[in-house]
Amino acid sequence: MFRGKTRKLAILALTLMLAVLPAMAETTVEQRLDDLETLRAGLEEGHYDLFALVTPEEWQARLEETAEKLRDESLDDKMACYALIELVASLGDAHTQAWFTGGNAQGDMRALPLQTGLFDGGVYLLATTEPYAQYLGMEITAIEGVPMDDVFARLTPVISYDNETRLQTQLAANIADADALRYVGILDDASQAEVTFTDA
């Protein structure tokens, strides 16, 4: 019915309540920098081969870049967590990852109702919620007008991977992560997104 046509659809993000948590104030810059120091010390003291793919100088520069991001008082807790996730992903080790374990950032993670797969270089909708079922099997060509190649390029720095297969698998999963999409500048508001489908 829509063969050869492009359709744009505003999709509301689902709020995933992964923990029943009381409302808490955002962390302070000092608390975030303490978290960074704890992460740094833990990795430098406990990682089996921290400098396998990065030099100590590169690591130090990335720590300083992350600290600068965390000093931005406009940053909310979710975006601060993604700054730490990006730092750890920069090690290039799929077995070393940072992720949410509780607190404000995890309490209301948002995800687009999209389960996707990568086939022949395209991103296809494999599963979704009932309101969007008519788009099953269609190719996703853009999110918020950003072509998928650019979406992938922006998401890659927040993914821990050490080979192309792992990267592609994680990219397909992270397309639905509305907060990750906000962190990399694709979404301004993680509660909704305009997704472009093509039924080719």
- What is the C-alpha separation between 191 and 102, in angstroms, rounded? 20
Q: What pLDDT sits at residue 173?
A: 84
Give the torsion sign (CA, 186, 179, 33, 27).
Answer: positive
- What is the C-alpha separation between 131 and 12, in angstroms, rounded? 10
Give the torsion sign (CA, 110, 184, 125, 194).
Answer: positive
Q: What pLDDT sits at residue 25?
A: 64
> Which residues does the chain have with pLDDT short of 70?
1-25, 101-108, 200
Integer angstrom CA distances of residue 61 from 35, 55, 73, 87, 154? 17, 10, 21, 10, 20
Q: What pLDDT sits at residue 50?
A: 94
